[in-house]
Amino acid sequence: MHKVIPHKEYPHEEGRYIRGNDYSPVAVAIILNAPSYDIPLELEELVHAGIEGGAALSGMLQTENIGIEKMVCNIVANPNIRYLVVGGPESEGHLTGEALKAFMLNGVDKTGRIIETKAPVPLLLNLPMEYINRFLNQVSLVDLQFQKPGIVRSAVRACCQEDPVAFTEPPFSGVITWTAPQPWTVPTDEKEIEARRRVEELKSRLKERTRKMD
């Protein structure tokens, strides 16, 4: 089957993942529902099961916003990845698994909010739409939440045996365009966005007036 070389800087974004076979058609996202300093052994076993099955990337996904954005960036940098296996528990605070599956099924609205999710802050504000569209066209969801490592391992192997061709378009650079470290503070309603724009314009005029007075 036709495979391609990933972007030279792949994987661009740092995270809690293991890099496997760059030519594998599978990435694995295990939902993290614990603090980074106290990760349960069973979650680590799920991540390793992904790599043992032959995944290109297998790691943990903690948040329904920046976490998903970083994952998207890494995957669109490798056109060989055609499946995303989602496993692990649910994150009670972030509802990350629910948000990720809603994103892959429904996409985002014009403000960058994931459609039809109950997650508290499902805002993908750091990604251009071309990255989002590319990800949704490139990757198919394999939902294995709440399953044991053996099932995750077997599913990854099954996807690898299908061995689909790489996505037909070149790899993206895969970097987040900017960073909203607190997405919940960024306005998404059109009236809020316009109000924020006017405030920024006023601040700029005041700065310019102060500069001229100096």
Provide mean pLDDT across the span 72-83: 98
Provide mean pLDDT across the span 127-156: 97
| Among 110, 165, 170, 98, residue whose Cα is nearest residue 134 | 170
Question: Global pTM?
Answer: 0.83
Distance CA 45, CA 51 (A): 10
What is the structure's pLDDT at 53? Answer: 98
Provide mean pLDDT across the span 178-196: 56
Model confidence at 129, pLDDT cuts 50, 70, 90, reads: very high
Q: Is the model's pLDDT at 140 over the cut of 70? A: yes
Q: What is the pLDDT of residues 91-115, one digit of tens each?
A: 999 999 999 999 999 999 999 999 9
Q: What is the pLDDT of residues 20-42, one digit of tens each?
A: 999 999 999 999 999 888 999 99
Distance CA 66, CA 176 (A): 9
Alpha carbon distance, N-terminus to C-terminus of the chain = 67
17-177 folds as: Rossmann fold (3.40.50)
* pLDDT, mean over the chain: 89
Model confidence at 71, pLDDT cuts 50, 70, 90, reads: very high
